[in-house]
Structure formats: C-alpha cells, structure tokens
Amino acid sequence: MGRGDEAELRRLRESARSCKACSLWEHATQTVFGEGPADAQVMLIGEQPGDQEDVQGRPFVGPAGQLLDRALADAGVDRRSAFVTNAVKHFKWQLRGKRRLHKKPLQREIAACYQWLEREIEVVRPRVIVCLGATAAGALLGSTFRVTSQRGQLVESSLAPHVFATIHPSAILRIREDAGREEAYQRFVSDLTLVRKLLSPAER
C-alpha cells in the first residue's frame, strides 16, 4: 500500500460502514468517513459529524464546515486539495425539542474509532495534520495537550512531518457577540495560514 492509494481508501470506507466498535452506530444515520484526495498533503481532523454530516454522510458540510471552507479560502488553502475527517465517525447527539444537538463523545468512543483515523493517516500520509478542537488533539497528541495554550504550535509527531492544533470552527459559531466572533474568526484564519507556509516550496 503506497501513499495516495484510492482503492485502499475505498476499502476502508466500505469497512467502516458496518463498524459497531462502540454503541454510537445505534443512533446514527450512517458512518461518516473522511473525504478528499488520497494523496492530499494536508489532513484536517475534527471531533465528530454533526446533524447535516450524519444525514448527508459527508464530513464538514454543515454550518461549521461552511465556516471552515471560508476560513481556508481566506488563508489561501484549497479545501478541495485537503482530506477532511473526524476523530469519531458517528454522530453522537441528544434531542432538544425537535433538534438533534451535538453531545461530546466519551473517551472509550474516541478510542473505538481511532482505528479508522489511524488507517486514514496511514493511507493518505499527509505532510500537514491540523487537529480542529480538543477532541481531535487529544486523540492524536495525548490527553495532556491543551489547545487553549498550544494552538498554532508545531508538535513533534510520528503521524506527519508537521502537526498542529487550533480551535474547531463550531467554537466560533457559538460566540454570540459579532465583534468577538469576528476576532475569533480572524485568529482561526491566521492559524490556518500556517498550512500554506508549511506547504510552500521552501519547506518541502
């Protein structure tokens, strides 16, 4: 199996459809596997699918995904050339009225799903991995890693030549004040510009 093996990614995606390694599959519509080129140089990893991702079966297509797309564009990174995925492949939710709201996955659920994330990284072999939020960072960088104090800092890892973490775009959406939300967005874009810098010819 070499870098960018599309056939292997398809096999993994098919295998993940029937995953029952934890109980989250029981209440999810479907497994939401990663998406993007098998030879992508950058991999963006979030926490778990949301409501729209669960319905459509694709990662980062809801409001947080739309914000991520805009931020990547503002940072000069082509989303279509990136592989986007989540640490957990099933939507964990709680019903509030008629809405299905995100519920944070447990450590055992994150651990049960890690096999799929690990294989995605092995196949794609990205040059840059970006952990979006604490769950993804904890899964890949350990429980002592803190996004609040270490965001945007390169972390030595065997997973890829360059690894760093930033906030999850959903955190920006939860900020109610316009000024605060815009400030958080601009800092998020600033974090993502590191991707472009790391992939520049001088860094290859």
What mean pLDDT is predicted for residues 69-80?
A: 96
* 28-41 mean pLDDT: 97
Summary mean pLDDT of the chain: 95
Q: Please, what sign has the CA dihedral across residues 167, 169, 172, 178? A: positive
So what's the pLDDT on residue 169? 98
Q: What domains are there in the chain, each with its CATH number? A: 6-203 (3.40.470.10)
Looking at residue 200, what is its pLDDT?
Answer: 80
- Beta partners for 100? 95
- 147 contacts 167 by C-beta, under 8 angstroms: yes
pTM for the predicted model, two decimal places? 0.95
CA dist., res. 131 & res. 192, Å (int): 11
Q: Give per-residue pLDDT as tens, 112-143.
A: 999 999 999 999 999 999 999 999 999 999 99
Give the separation between CA 203 and CA 24, rounded to whole angstroms: 40
